[in-house]
Amino acid sequence: MAKILVVDDEPLTVEMLSTFLGLIGHQTVGAYSGRQTWDKLAYENPEVILLDIMLPDDNGLDICRKLRSQTDTAEVPVIMISAYNPPLLAEATAAGANGYLIKPIKLNDLKSALAEVGIS
């Protein structure tokens, strides 16, 4: 079982992803903004972060860069999630993301992305 931080400004997206992740045996923590992400990271130690690119107060790409620059989060896998079309895959990779999922997220794609970062 992994602890996964799910960050998205859409509560329904956080709820849907959290429900699915719970069904396959993982524990989730939700955050709905950049500020909440940092608040949660102050006392939670997730093994993976699912991070939306567009948040009301911050940019997920900037958050990913900052995560990579801090010793306590530098190695935590980050899977970016976004509805951007075309996807910002190159930008996400340059920011340090380990994966990228396009909304609406297909559950098999989510499982595959988690497997690629060592979470089954």
Looking at residue 112, its pLDDT comes to 97
Give the span between the Cα atoms of 19 and 26, in whole angstroms.
9
* Tens place of pLDDT per residue across the chain (120 aa): 999 999 999 999 999 999 999 999 999 999 999 999 999 999 999 999 999 999 999 999 999 999 999 999 999 999 999 998 788 999 999 999 999 999 999 999 999 999 999 998
- Cβ partners under 8 Å of residue 110, min gap 6: 17, 20, 21, 101
Domain extent for 31 = 3-116
Instruction: Give 84-87 contacts, CB < 8 A, sequence gap 24+.
Output: 84/53, 84/54
Total number of residues shown for the chain = 120
Instruction: Give 113-118 contacts, CB < 8 A, sequence gap 24+.
Output: 113/79, 114/2, 114/48, 114/79, 117/48, 117/77, 117/79, 118/77
Q: pTM for the complete prediction?
A: 0.96
Looking at residue 84, its pLDDT comes to 83
In terms of Cα–Cα distance, which of 16, 24, 23 is closest to 50? 16
Task: Return the number of other C-beta atoms located less than 10 Å from residue 108's C-beta.
Answer: 8
The total domain count for the chain is: 1
Q: What is the CATH number of the domain that holds 81?
A: 3.40.50.2300
Say if CB 96 and CB 43 are below 8 A apart: no
